[in-house]
C-alpha cells in the first residue's frame, strides 16, 4: 500500500516507526524541516520530500497520483484539512486529518464527507477518553474497548495476598465464579499469552477480557476497587484537560483544575462553568496541599512538560493512595519511566497511531475479514485485534478446537449480535461474528493470518 505522511512531529514519527515495520507498505514522508526529514529517512525505509503538504508540486513529487492513503498530522489543523482536500481532488485517495482544536470538533464532523475525509483524529480527545475510562475503573492500569464498547481488556497488578497469587489460569473461573479470560501476563521484562497451566504470581501484571459486568464482578472478587472516583485534581489546563473535564463532569465526577496562566484560567472558567479552576503553579507543594491532594480520589498530571508530569505524579503518589495518571508526550526513556512505579501513563501519540494504524490495516485488506478495533497490550509486546468474520473467512463455521492456529495466538472473545461469548474449544465461529484475537505477532491484517 502506498502511503504519504505529511508532518513529522511526535505522531508522524510514531506512525513512520509503526508502519515501516510492515513490509507491504511503501511510505513517503513530507515535512518542511529538512533536518527532521533527513533523520527520519535515514532511520527508516521511507522516501522523503521537503516542502508543504498543501503544495500541488510537493504532493505530485511525493507520488499522490499512486497513493492509497494520505495522513496529514502537522501541527496546524487548517493545513491538515487543506492538504487532505487537495489530495482528495488530485487522486481520490483516502485521507486522514489530525484536528486538535475543540472549536472545530462539531464543524469537521458536519463536513467530513464534503471534505473527503476518511477519518478525523484528535490526540487530545482520544487521550481524554482513555483517562476517563480509567477513572471509571480506578484499579485498572489500562483499559481497551472492543465490540462497540461491550467488551473490555483491563490490565492490573496482582497485589500481595490477592486470591490470584499462585493460582493456575485454568482454575480461575471455577474458584472465583467469574466468566472472564486471562489473555496476557507481564512478568518482569517478559510477556506471556498464558495457557491453562500457567501459574500467576504476586506482582504480575495481568490483562483480562470480558464484558463490563463480568469484569466488574471479577475485580470485586479479587478485592480491588470497582467504583468510579468521586473527584479528580488536574494540573495543567490545556486541550486534554478541557476534553477530560467535560467527560468527567458529565459522569458526575467533581473536577478541580490548577493552571498557572491567568488568561487561560479565565477561558477555562468560561468553557467549564461546573469545574473549580485554580490559578496557581501546580508544581508548588504548598498549593497542592491547600487544594486537597491528600484527599482527592484521583490526580492527573497534564502539563506540557513531561518532566513536570513525572515529578508531580511521583509527589502525588507519596501523598495519596488514589488513582494517579501521567501524560507523557516526548520522553522516550520508556524503561526508566516504567521503573519509577507510576500508576498509569498515557502516551497520546501512541493512542493516535493505534487508531490510524487500525484504519490502514483494514484498508489494506480488501477480501478477508476486516479489522474493527486494534490495541497494543502487554506493554507493546502484543496486539489485541477485533476481526469481522465474513462468509469466506477460513475460521467461519468451525469449532475453535479444530483450528490450526499459530503459536502466540489466543481467541479471546466472540461477539455475536451483541451477545458476548467467552470462547471454549467446542464453540463455533459464525459469519457475522466479530472475534477478538490476542497475539504476540505484529502486523496481522486479516483473520487468515492467525492460521498455520
DSSP three-state, residue 289 = helix
Q: How far is CA 291 from CA 267, 326, 342, in A?
A: 20, 19, 22
- For domain 362-450, which architecture applies? 2-Layer Sandwich (3.30)
How many contiguous H segments (helices) and E segments (strands) does the chain have?
14, 24
- pLDDT at res. 148: 85
Domain boundaries, the chain: 2-121, 128-221, 231-346, 362-450
pLDDT tens digit sequence for 210-250: 998 999 899 888 888 778 899 999 999 999 999 999 999 99
Give the pLDDT confidence score for residue 161 in this predicted structure.
Answer: 87
Q: Write down the architecture of domain 231-346 according to CATH.
A: 3-Layer(aba) Sandwich (3.40)
Distance CA(221)–CA(136), nearest Å, equals 18
Position 331 scores a pLDDT of 66
pLDDT score, position 119: 87
pTM for the predicted model, two decimal places: 0.84
Identical topology for domains 2-121 and 231-346: yes
- Give the dihedral sign, CA 194/199/205/210: positive
Which residue is it, cell 473549580?
Answer: 276
Topology of domain 2-121, per CATH? Rossmann fold (3.40.50)
CA distance 298 to 383: 29
- Count CA atoms closer than 13 A to 409's CA, side-chain side: 18
* pLDDT at residue 303, as a whole number: 96
**CA gap 228, 134 in Å, rounded:** 9
Rounded CA separation 409/183 (Å): 10
Q: Which residues pair with 28 in a beta bridge?
A: 4, 47
Three-state DSSP at 185 gives strand
Provide the grid cell at 80: 491538515
Q: What is the pLDDT of residues 68-97, one digit of tens each?
A: 999 999 999 999 999 999 999 899 899 999
Cα–Cα distance, 3 to 63 (Å, whole number): 9
Correct CATH for 128-221 of 3.20.80.10, 3.20.10.10, 3.40.50.10470, 3.30.70.1450? 3.30.70.1450
Write down the pLDDT at residue 329. Answer: 86
In which residue ranges of the chain is pLDDT below 50? 366-368
Amino acid at each position: 500500500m502506498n502511503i504519504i505522511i505529511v508532518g513529522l512531529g511526535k505522531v508522524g514519527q510514531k506512525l513512520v516507526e509503526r508502519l515501516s515495520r510492515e513490509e507491504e507498505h511503501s511510505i513517503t514522508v513530507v515535512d518542511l524541516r529538512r533536518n527532521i526529514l533527513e533523520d527520519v529517512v535515514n532511520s527508516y525505509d521511507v522516501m522523503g520530500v521537503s516542502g508543504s503538504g498543501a503544495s500541488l508540486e510537493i504532493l505530485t513529487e511525493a507520488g499522490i497520483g499512486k497513493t492509497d492513503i494520505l495522513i496529514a498530522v502537522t501541527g496546524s489543523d487548517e493545513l491538515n484539512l487543506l492538504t487532505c482536500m487537495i489530495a482528495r481532488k488530485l487522486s481520490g485517495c483516502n485521507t486522514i486529518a489530525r484536528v486538535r482544536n475543540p472549536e472545530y470538533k462539531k464543524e469537521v464532523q458536519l463536513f467530513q464527507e464534503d471534505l473527503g475525509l476518511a477519518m478525523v483524529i484528535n490526540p487530545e480527545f482520544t487521550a481524554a477518553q482513555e483517562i476517563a475510562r480509567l477513572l471509571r475503573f480506578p484499579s485498572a492500569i489500562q483499559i481497551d474497548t472492543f465490540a462497540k464498547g461491550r467488551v473490555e481488556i483491563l490490565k492490573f497488578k496482582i497485589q500481595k495476598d490477592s486470591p490470584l497469587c499462585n493460582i493456575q489460569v485454568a482454575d480461575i473461573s471455577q474458584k472465583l465464579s467469574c466468566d472472564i479470560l486471562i489473555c496476557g501476563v507481564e512478568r518482569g521484562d517478559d510477556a506471556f499469552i498464558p495457557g491453562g497451566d500457567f501459574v500467576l504470581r504476586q506482582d504480575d501484571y495481568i490483562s483480562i477480557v470480558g464484558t463490563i459486568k463480568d469484569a466488574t464482578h471479577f475485580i470485586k472478587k479479587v478485592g480491588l476497587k470497582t467504583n468510579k472516583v468521586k473527584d479528580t485534581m488536574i494540573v495543567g489546563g490545556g486541550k486534554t484537560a478541557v476534553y477530560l473535564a467535560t467527560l468527567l463532569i458529565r459522569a458526575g465526577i467533581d473536577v478541580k483544575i490548577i493552571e498557572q496562566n491567568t488568561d487561560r484560567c479565565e477561558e477555562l472558567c468560561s468553557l467549564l462553568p461546573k469545574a473549580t479552576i485554580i490559578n496557581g503553579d501546580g508544581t508548588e507543594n504548598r498549593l497542592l496541599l491547600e487544594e486537597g491532594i491528600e484527599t482527592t480520589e484521583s490526580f492527573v498530571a497534564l502539563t506540557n512538560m513531561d518532566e513536570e508530569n513525572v515529578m508531580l505524579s511521583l509527589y502525588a503518589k507519596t501523598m495519596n493512595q488514589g488513582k494517579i495518571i501521567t501524560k507523557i508526550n516526548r520522553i522516550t526513556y520508556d524503561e526508566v519511566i516504567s521503573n519509577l512505579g507510576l500508576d498509569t501513563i498515557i502516551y497520546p501519540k501512541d493512542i493516535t497511531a493505534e487508531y490510524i494504524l487500525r484504519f490502514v490495516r483494514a484498508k489494506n485488506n480488501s477480501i478477508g475479514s476486516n479489522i474493527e478495533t486494534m490495541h497494543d497490550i502487554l506493554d507493546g509486546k502484543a496486539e489485541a485485534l477485533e476481526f469481522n468474520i465474513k462468509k469466506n473467512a477460513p475460521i467461519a463455521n468451525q469449532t475453535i478446537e479444530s483450528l490450526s492456529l499459530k503459536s502466540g495466538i489466543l481467541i479471546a472473545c466472540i461477539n455475536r449480535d451483541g451477545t458476548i461469548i467467552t470462547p471454549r474449544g467446542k464453540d463455533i465461529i459464525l459469519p457475522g461474528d466479530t472475534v477478538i484475537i490476542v497475539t504476540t505477532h505484529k502486523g496481522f491484517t486479516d483473520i487468515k493470518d492467525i492460521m498455520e
